[in-house]
Chains A and B, each alone.
Chain A
Amino acid sequence: MIHSNRFQTICQWFTAALFSLPLVGGLAAEEKSSLRIGSPGDPQTLDPHRYTLNVEEHILKDMFLGLTTMDAKGAIVPGSAESWDVSSDGLVWTFLLRDNAWSDGTPVTAEDFVYSFRRLVDPETAAPLAFFLYGIENAREINGGELESSELGVFAQDSKTLEIRLERPFPYFTERLFYPTGYPVPKHVIEKHGSDWIKPENWVSNGPYSLTDWKPQQAVELQRNPHFYEHGNVKIESVKYVPVADALAGYHRYLAEELDIVGDFPAGEIESLRESHPDQLQLSPLLSTMYLVFNVTRAPFDDVRVRRALGLAIDRDKLTRKVLRSEEIANASMVPPMVPGYKPSITTNSPDLALARSLLAQAGFTEEEPLKVTLRYFTGAESKQVHVAIAAMWQEIGVQTSLHNTELKVHFSDLHSGDFEVAQAGWFGENNPEHYIELLWSQIGSNNYGRYQSAEFDGLLEQAKNTVGQKEREKLLQQAESVALNEFPVIPLYSVTVRNLVNPRVGGWYTNPRNSHGVRYMTLK
C-alpha cells in the first residue's frame, strides 16, 4: 500500500511536469516585437575589415553605412556620401559626406574613412578581402608591405570631403564601395579598446543599428541606433540574427514561428510550399553564374573540338526546368542575365547532338574508343543531381563520364592546383560583366581554374580595363567574352535562385538579385 501511494505520487509529479512543459516552452513575449532572421551560419567576425562571408555581410550592412549603400530593392544609392564627382579620366572620385554620427554620438568625418581604408590595407590587419579595394592607388603595395599606409590614395580634403584616387578607371567603383571592406570603423573606439572594440559593451557603428549582444552560435542582437541620420524612418526596434547551420533545422524553426525570415531551406520543400505557403515563398534569381570549367592544359581538353562537343551536348533548359526546378535561369554567357545593360554575344541554349558527335569523331573518338571524362563537383544540395544529368547528356554523344565528388575545400584546392579534367565552378557577387568575364583572364592567377590563355581575349580585356566610359567598356567586354566562349574553355550553365521564406508580418521585404535586405527598410505588423 505504501509503495502504491509512492507510485501515485511519482505519477502525479511526472504528469504535472509533462503538462507544464508547454507553459515554459515557446517564445518569450518580447521576442514577438523584434525581427528574427535565420542566418545560414554563425558570423566569423563582426569586424568589417576582417569579414569573408555572406553571413557577415548581411549583418554588417545593418550596422554600418559605407559611402554607398543599397535601397530596399538592391539598387546602389548614396550612403554616408550624399553625392560624388568623378574626374574626366575616371581616376579621382570626390565624395561629399552627409551629416551622420556614430552610435555614441560622435560625428562621422572624412578622417574616419581615411583611417578605415588605411586600416583595411595595413598588413597588420590581415584583411582577407583587402584586395576588393586594390583599385585604389598604392593599395596593393601597402598590403604587400612595400609602402606605408599613409601613402594610400585616400585623402580628407576637409571633415566632409573625401578624395579617392584609383590606379585605373573603374566605373563600377560605387558598387565595390558598399561591401563591408568599404565601411568606416570608429577610430576613436579602436584606439581606446584595441581588438576589444568588437565586444558588445564597446560597440560603436554608424549604421541604422548597433550591436547589443553576440552569443556565438546563438544570436547576434541589434538595437536601433538613435544617432543614425535617418533614425526616424527606421521602424523596427530590434533585430535578432539566429544562426541556423542546417537548412532543415532553419526550415523547421520558421514553421514553428521561431523565425520571421529564413533562407536556404531544402529545395525539396519548394513544391509543397507553393501549395501551403504561396504568399511566404520567395524565389528570385541571384547574381551568379554556375559553369563547367575545362583544364585546357590537359589532353584531350586542350582540343577545342572536344570542349565544344561537350558544350553542345548540354541542354541547359532541361537542367533548370526538369532537374533543378527552382526557377534557375539557363544561361550560355558567363555574365548573369540580370546584369543590366550587358548583351552577351552568345545566347543560344539549344544543344546540337549531331554536331557534337561529329566533332568528337574529328577529334578521334569512336564508339570503340570513346571519350572518357572525369567530372568533378563539390558536395552541395543540388550538385549531385545536376552533374548526374550532365553525365547522362554526355552519354548521348557516346562520352563515358566518371563523377568525382569532394567537399568544397578539397574541390577548390584541386581546381587551384590544376588537378582536374572538367569541374563544377561558380561565381557570385557583382552587378557588372567584368566581374565574371575576367575569370578567363590569364593575369588573374589560379582563379582562372582551367588556365585558359588567349592573347586576343587578354588584349580586349586589358583595353576594356583602361576604358573610362561604361558603354565602350562593356562593348569591349562583350567582344572579349565572344572570343573566349567560341573556344569553350568553360560551359556556362545557369544562374542560381535564392530561396527565402518571409512571414507575412514582415513588410518592406523585396526580392532582388543581390539577395540584400536592409532591415532599415522593413516594418513589422
Chain B
Amino acid sequence: MARFVFKRIAFMLITFWVVISVAFFLLRLAPGGPFDGDRRMPPEVEENLLKAYNLDDPLPIQYGRYVWNLVRFDLGPSLKHHDFTVNELIAAGLPVSLSVGALALVIALVLGIPIGCAAAFRHNSWLDNCLSSTTTFGLALPPIVTGPLFVLLFAVTLRWLPAGGMDAATSLILPSIALAIPHAAATAKLMRGSCIDTLRQNHVLTARSKGLNSLRLAIHHVLPSAMIPVLSFLGPAAATVIAGSLVIEEVFSLPGLGRYFVQGALNRDYTLVMGGVVVYAALILMLNFVVDTLYFRFDPRIRSQSQAQAT
C-alpha cells in the first residue's frame, strides 16, 4: 500500500509540474498582452506597467520566479485586479466553486444511485423504460441550457429563488441542480448497468431464492458490488463538475473561481489564469489520487495485481 501511495504521489507531482509549465508558456504564446487593448498606450506607460509586474524580465527568469513563488504558495499579484493578490482572489472564489461542485455531486449521487437501482430491479419493465429515457434526456441537458431555463422559471416567473449572485445560501440551489442533472443521469446509467450485472451473480440469485425482500437484497448484496464502478466514476465526475462550474458561474453570476478563470483568460491576466490552473490541476490530481487509493483498498483484483508486480 505504501509503495502504491508513494508511486502515485510522485506521478502526481510530475504531472502537476508539467501542467504548470505548459500552461505558463502557452499563455505567453497567446496573441495580445494584459495591457493591450483598442488603444495602444504610450511606450513609457507600457514600460512602467511591465516593470511594476516584473514582466520586463526574460521569460525563463519570469518562469523561475513563478515556480519559486509557487513553492512558497505565493501566486503573485493579479495583473488586472490591481487591488488583490491571486491568493486573495482564489480564497474568495474557491469556496463558492467547491460548494456548487460538492452540492452538485451530492445531488447527482442522491438522484442517480436510486434511479439506477430502481431501473435495474425492474429491468425491461415500463418503469425501466421510463427511467432510462429520462436519464438519456438528462445526459443531453448541459448546464448552459438548463441554467437560463431554471432562472426564467424559478427566479423570474415564480420568484422562489435568486436569479444570480451569492446573496444567500439559496443562491446555490439552482446552479447546483443545473450542474448535477447530466451527472445524475450518467450515475443512474452506470448504476443500472452495474446492478443488472450484479443481480445475475450467484450469491444474489441464492439470496433472492431464499426469499429476501428487494430492499434488503439491494442494500446488503447488490449495492456493495455495484458501487465499485460508480466509485471509479467519482474522480472524473468530480473533475467534470469542477470544470463545468466555469459555465454555471457565468450563467448565475456566481463569484466563483471559474469566472476569474474565464475573465482572466480573456484579459490575459497571466497570474490569475495560472492561479486557476494551479488550483484546478491540484484538485483534479488529488481527487484522482483519492479514488485510485480507495479503489486499491476496496478492489482486491487491483491489490493482487500490484502485489504481483512488486514480487
Contacts and interface: CB of A to CB of B under 8 A. Distances in A.
- Pair from one complex: yes
A192 interface: no
A216 B164 contact: no
Interface stretch (B8-16, B47-55, B275-283): B47-55
A219 B166 CA distance: 10
A103 to B, nearest CB: 18
Nearest to B38: A412
A5 to B, nearest CB: 13
Contacts of A129: 45
B165 A242 contact: yes
A215 interface: yes
Interface stretch (A19-27, A469-477, A493-501): A19-27
Contacts of A249: 151, 163-164, 250-253
B161 A21 contact: yes
Contacts, number: 175
A265 B73 CA distance: 40
Interface in A116-130: 123-130
A21 B152 CA distance: 17
A416 B31 CA distance: 12
- How many of chain A's residues touch chain B, expressed as a range? 35 or more
A42 interface: yes
Nearest to B42: A131
- How many of chain B's residues touch chain A, expressed as a range? 35 or more
Interface stretch (A138-146, A163-171, A230-238, A294-302): A138-146
Give the secondary structure class of B's interface.
loop
A414 B166 CA distance: 38
Contacts of B168: 24-26, 28
Interface stretch (A151-159, A251-259, A311-319, A342-350): A251-259
Contact of A252 (B52, B80, B148, B260): B148
B263 interface: yes
A253 B49 contact: no
B163 A258 contact: yes
Given A27-B167, A217-B93, A410-B32, A256 B156 contact: yes
A425 interface: yes
Given A217-B93, A416-B40, A252 B164 contact: yes
A217 B262 CA distance: 13
B215 interface: yes
Interface stretch (B81-89, B118-126, B235-243): B81-89
Given A218-B255, A255-B156, A414-B31, A140 B42 contact: yes
A256 B163 contact: yes
A123 B48 contact: yes
Interface in A13-61: 21-22, 24-28, 31, 41-42, 44-47, 50, 52
Contact of A216 (B51, B81, B155): B81
In this complex, the member of B30, B39, B152 whose beta carbon has the largest number of chain A beta carbons within 10 angstroms is: B39
In this complex, the member of B31, B82, B252, B268 whose beta carbon has the largest number of chain A beta carbons within 10 angstroms is: B82
A407 interface: yes
B41 A128 contact: yes
Nearest to A51: B82
Nearest to A122: B48
A145 to B, nearest CB: 7
Contacts of A46: 83
Contacts of A445: 40, 42
A188 to B, nearest CB: 20
Interface string B51-93: 1100000000000000000000000000011111000110011
Interface in B205-259: 215, 250-256, 259
A44 to B, nearest CB: 5
B31 A409 contact: yes
A31 B52 CA distance: 39
Given A25-B170, A252-B155, A127 B40 contact: no
A215 B205 CA distance: 59
A313 B82 CA distance: 46
A244 interface: yes
B266 interface: yes
Give the secondary structure class of A's interface.
mixed
Contacts of A219: 165
A21 B173 contact: yes
B163 A47 contact: no
Contact of B152 (A28, A252, A416): A252
B35 interface: yes
B118 to A, nearest CB: 13
Contacts of B260: 217
Given A216-B89, A217-B260, A127 B266 contact: no
A425 B38 contact: yes
A250 B52 CA distance: 34
B81 A45 contact: yes
Contact of A447 (B39, B83, B148): B39
Given A46-B83, A258-B165, A413-B31, A24 B49 contact: no
A124 B52 CA distance: 7
A360 B259 CA distance: 48
Nearest to B174: A25
A46 B82 CA distance: 9
Given A22-B160, A425-B38, A426-B38, A248 B266 contact: no
Contact of A245 (B35, B44, B80, B253): B253
B49 A246 contact: no
Contacts of A250: 253
B37 interface: yes
B218 to A, nearest CB: 12
A45 B82 contact: yes
Contacts of A50: 82
B35 A128 contact: yes
B266 A407 contact: yes
A30 B121 CA distance: 52
A322 interface: no
A479 interface: no
A28 B252 CA distance: 18
B148 to A, nearest CB: 6
- CB-based closest 5 A-B pairs: A409-B32, A217-B255, A144-B44, A126-B52, A45-B82
22 contacts: A21-B173, A24-B169, A26-B168, A46-B83, A125-B48, A126-B51, A126-B52, A216-B89, A216-B255, A242-B253, A246-B250, A249-B151, A252-B155, A252-B164, A253-B165, A256-B155, A258-B164, A409-B32, A409-B36, A412-B32, A413-B33, A446-B40
Interface of B: 30-33, 35-42, 44-45, 48-49, 51-52, 80-84, 88-89, 92-93, 148, 151-152, 155-156, 158-170, 173, 215, 250-256, 259-260, 263, 266-268
Interface of A: 3, 21-22, 24-28, 31, 41-42, 44-47, 50, 52, 123-131, 134, 140, 143-145, 198, 215-219, 242-246, 248-250, 252-253, 255-258, 407-410, 412-414, 416, 425-427, 445-447
Given A245-B250, A252-B151, 11 more contacts: A21-B170, A126-B51, A128-B35, A134-B42, A143-B44, A218-B255, A252-B152, A409-B36, A410-B32, A412-B32, A426-B38
